Amino acid sequence: MERLKVNLCGIELDNPIIPASGTFGFGYEFADIYDINKLGTFSFKGTTKDPRFGNPTPRAAECTAGIINSVGLQNPGVDKVIAEELPKLSKVFNKKVMANIGGFSVEEYAYVAERIAECEQVGWLEVNISCPNVHGGGMAMGADPNMAAAVTKAVRKVTDKPVIIKLSPNVTDIVSIAKACEAEGADGISLINTLLGMRINLKTRKPIIANKMGGFSGPAVFPVALRMVYQVASNVKIPVVGLGGVSRAEDVIEMMLAGATAVQVGAANLIDPAACSDIIDKLPSVMDKYGINKLSDIIGGAL
């Protein structure tokens, strides 16, 4: 449907709906539920240089209007993703896919980016800079504008494909970090990643998550995500991908009015695997309700 189309960093999407990394596997797992080609695209499971088993269990805890998880970037490593996961995906998905990558040093980010960018299927690189810097005391790569800029610059050097930097909300000044990434050649900004949260078991009096704390996501974080999307979109000239608590077609409209060109759906996929399909189906009627002819017309409408 023409009225749903948007352009993300030079690549046209049939609609702005993108399942978020970590909530949609490598895509083919959902192909038996619905035709995933109806999506704008999706961001596949966060991929690192080496295979990762992830964090100890339990890794998840339910919350009011959300969930806390601490999976720990479990993935088979970039070589196996290229050799096994992407060929499986190609059998059921005929669009460009967004590759979400992580690393624990600037060099690792560059290595994974260069390897994954060689794949014809990959349209965009979504660079998750919430990973801890193992050479810098464990602080997240995206917590400091200088480090965020260094990762962006390194990734930008190894690929001509669109580079979208995914930012953590667990910072004091999201705008300065976004602008630092833009200055070093980022083609887009994706936000927000999960907030840091925890739950305590009243019987054992200990944290439910083995890692004590984890990423808090779900509808409860939507107002925080919307605020940060608005702030960043007001201060950068590159496209913004909005995510964080999106679960309805109305949320998508709100995110786009705040400045998002495309919108990712995360935790909702864990509750209902067909969530993104349902949102796409409902978008036209919600657009009609609010007098919206084309989604591309409302991007940044509230700025």
Mean pLDDT of 152-159: 98
Q: Is the per-residue pLDDT at 239 higher than 80? A: yes
- Parallel, antiparallel or unpaired: strands 214-217 and 66-69: antiparallel
* Amino acid 138: pLDDT: 59
* Amino acid 137: pLDDT: 60
Mean pLDDT of 89-98: 98
* Amino acid 130: pLDDT: 86
The residue annotated as part of the active site, out of 9, 131, 181, 276, is: 131
CA-CA distance, 177 to 179, in Å (whole number)?
A: 5
Mean pLDDT of 248-273: 98
User: CB within 8 A of 150, min separation 6: which ones?
Assistant: 106, 184
Provide the 8-state DSSP code for 75: B
Mean pLDDT of 179-199: 97
Q: pLDDT grade, residue 135 (50/70/90)?
A: low
Mean pLDDT of 153-173: 97
pLDDT, tens digit (0-9, with 9 covering 90-100), for 286-298: 999 999 999 999 9
Q: Can you say how many angstroms the Cα of residue 16 is from the centroid of all Cα atoms in its chain? A: 13
Query: DSSP letter string over 84-140?
Result: IIHHHHHTT--S-EEEEE--SSHHHHHHHHHHHHT-TTEEEEEEETTSB-TTTTT-B
pLDDT, tens digit (0-9, with 9 covering 90-100), for 169-183: 999 999 999 999 999
Instruction: Give CA separation, 238 vs 20, 51, 162, 191, 268, in Å.
Output: 20, 32, 11, 13, 27
Q: Is the per-residue pLDDT at 133 higher than 90? A: no
* Amino acid 140: pLDDT: 83
Q: Which domains does the chain have, with CATH numbers?
A: 2-297 (3.20.20.70)
131 is a catalytic site residue = yes
Q: pLDDT grade, residue 284 (50/70/90)?
A: very high
CA-CA distance, 140 to 74, in Å (whole number)?
A: 17
Give helix then strand counts, H and E, for the chain.
9, 15
Q: Is the per-residue pLDDT at 128 higher than 80? A: yes
Average pLDDT across the chain, whole number:
96
